[in-house]
Structure 1
Amino acid sequence: MSINRVIISGNLTRDPELRSTQSGMAVLSFGVAVNDRCKNQQTGEWEDRPNFVDCTMFGNRANSVAQYLSKGTKVSIEGKLRWEQWERDGQKHSKLKVIVDELEFMSSRQSGASAPQGHYHTAQPMSHYPAAPQAAYGAQPPLPAYGQPQAYGAPANTAAAVPAIDASSSVYDDDIPF
């Protein structure tokens, strides 16, 4: 048995390229930069080392997502690795790339830019996704009624009031009992 799943989060390294196959299927290609932290043995300092990952998305969702992606956009991607080989000018080349199954918009470097809420994946038809942008990058979609938090001990089928968390309050290590 083998497992071929990859999850990455990073920024687009270039504007995406949208093209079509001869059969008319949309193909969206883009690159994502993912940092890796490692300690420099000479200086003892931690350094970020970038990894550049080529990604490809297929089908109707490639058309829909292309309009919201641009260089610098932060995304989270889940997909599978695919090995490609080709020959050019007598030289053999190869690379690993990610075939995107799910894409979630994390943020944008462009203030005021809009993107659809949530994420895009192959398990749902495109009608499942919003037709037009509804919130800024990074905004969280509302939870459905069945996903609302329940008070401790409340029956699962009863909506219980849960106190709101004050986002301005902060938690310090001294407040944690362990």
Structure 2
Amino acid sequence: MSINRVNISGNLTRDPELRATAGGTQVLAFGVAVNDRRRNQQTGAWEDYPNFVDCVIFGTRAEALARYLRKGSKVAIEGKLRYSSWETKDGQRRSKLEVVVDDVDFLSSRNSQNADGGYSAPSQRQQPTYSAPAPSVAASQQPQQAPQVVQAPPSPDVYDEDIPF
């Protein structure tokens, strides 16, 4: 028995390319850059070496994801490896190993879009302010009620994934 599963997280290297097959199936192709850390033999310092992984998604999810993914978006990908080989017009043999994506998790927030279209983590989070609505003129003629207490939602730093159960 063999297991063909891949989990990577990184940044998109280019804007996704949405195409359709002759049969009408949507195909979304994009690249993800992931780093590998190695120790430099001369300096002894750790250095990051990028790896570029081609990814592809098929079907209706491809069309939906094309609207949200942009160059620079940070994503976590789960899928399986697929090997392809072909011969070019000039007779050269080519091959490629790519990830056929089953699941995409967005690791960047949607509201922090950077200049090149991707999403990056915000540098400072602003807490929204919550207050009771101002009383209207008709309300001032009625007996005064105690002000309503509005609870603020939990901090945006707390996510469902952080809960251990």
So what's the TM-score if we normalise by structure 2?
A: 0.67
Q: Which amino acid aligns with 2:76?
A: S
Runs (4 or more) in structure 1 with deviation over 3 Å come to 138-143
Q: Which amino acid aligns with 2:106?
A: F
Q: Name the structure 1 match of 2:50.
A: 50
Q: Name the structure 2 match of 1:94.
A: 95
Instruction: Work out the CA distance in 1 between the residues paired with 2:14 and 2:43.
Output: 32
Q: Name the structure 2 match of 1:116.
A: none
Q: Does 1:31 align with 2:40?
A: no
Q: Which has the higher contact order (CA 8 A, sep 6+)?
A: 2
Q: Which amino acid aligns with 1:94?
A: S
Between the two proteins, the alignment pairs up a number of residues equal to: 122
Provide Cα deviations, 1:134-172, integer angstroms capped at 9, x if missing partner. Answer: xxxx987758xxxx878xxxxxxxxxxxxxxxxxxxxxx
Against the structure 1 CA distance between its residues 142 and 108, is the aligned structure 2 distance closer, same or farther, given a 3 Å change threshold?
Answer: closer
Against the structure 1 CA distance between its residues 47 and 80, is the aligned structure 2 distance closer, same or farther, given a 3 Å change threshold?
Answer: same
Distance apart, 1:109 and its partner CA: 9.0
Q: Which protein is bigger by CA-based radius of gyration?
A: 2
Contact 1:72 1:108 in 2 (8 A): no
Against the structure 1 CA distance between its residues 140 and 21, is the aligned structure 2 distance closer, same or farther, given a 3 Å change threshold?
Answer: farther
Q: Which amino acid aligns with 2:95?
A: S
Instruction: Work out the CA distance in 2 between the residues paired with 1:66 and 1:24.
Output: 16
Instruction: Work out the CA distance in 2 between the residues paired with 1:139 and 1:103.
Output: 21
Instruction: Work out the CA distance in 1 between the residues paired with 2:157 and 2:21.
Output: 34
Unaligned runs of 5+ in 1: 114-137, 151-178
Distance apart, 1:43 and its partner CA: 0.9
Against the structure 1 CA distance between its residues 43 and 56, is the aligned structure 2 distance closer, same or farther, given a 3 Å change threshold?
Answer: same
Q: Name the structure 2 match of 1:121.
A: none
Q: Name the structure 1 match of 2:80.
A: 80
| SS of alignment partner, residue 107 of structure 2 | strand
Against the structure 1 CA distance between its residues 61 and 94, is the aligned structure 2 distance closer, same or farther, given a 3 Å change threshold?
Answer: same
Distance apart, 1:95 and its partner CA: 1.3
Q: Name the structure 1 match of 2:65.
A: 65
Unaligned runs of 5+ in 2: 115-155
Q: Name the structure 2 match of 1:135.
A: none
Q: Name the structure 1 match of 2:108.
A: 107
Instruction: Work out the CA distance in 2 between the residues paired with 1:80 and 1:31.
Output: 15
Q: Which amino acid aligns with 1:86?
A: W
| SS of alignment partner, residue 49 of structure 2 | strand
Q: Name the structure 2 match of 1:134.
A: none
Q: Does 1:40 align with 2:40?
A: yes
Distance apart, 1:78 and its partner CA: 0.3
| CA RMSD in angstroms, aligned pairs only | 2.5
Provide Cα deviations, 1:108-136, integer angstroms capped at 9, x if missing partner. Answer: 597258xxxxxxxxxxxxxxxxxxxxxxx
Q: Which amino acid aligns with 1:96?
A: L
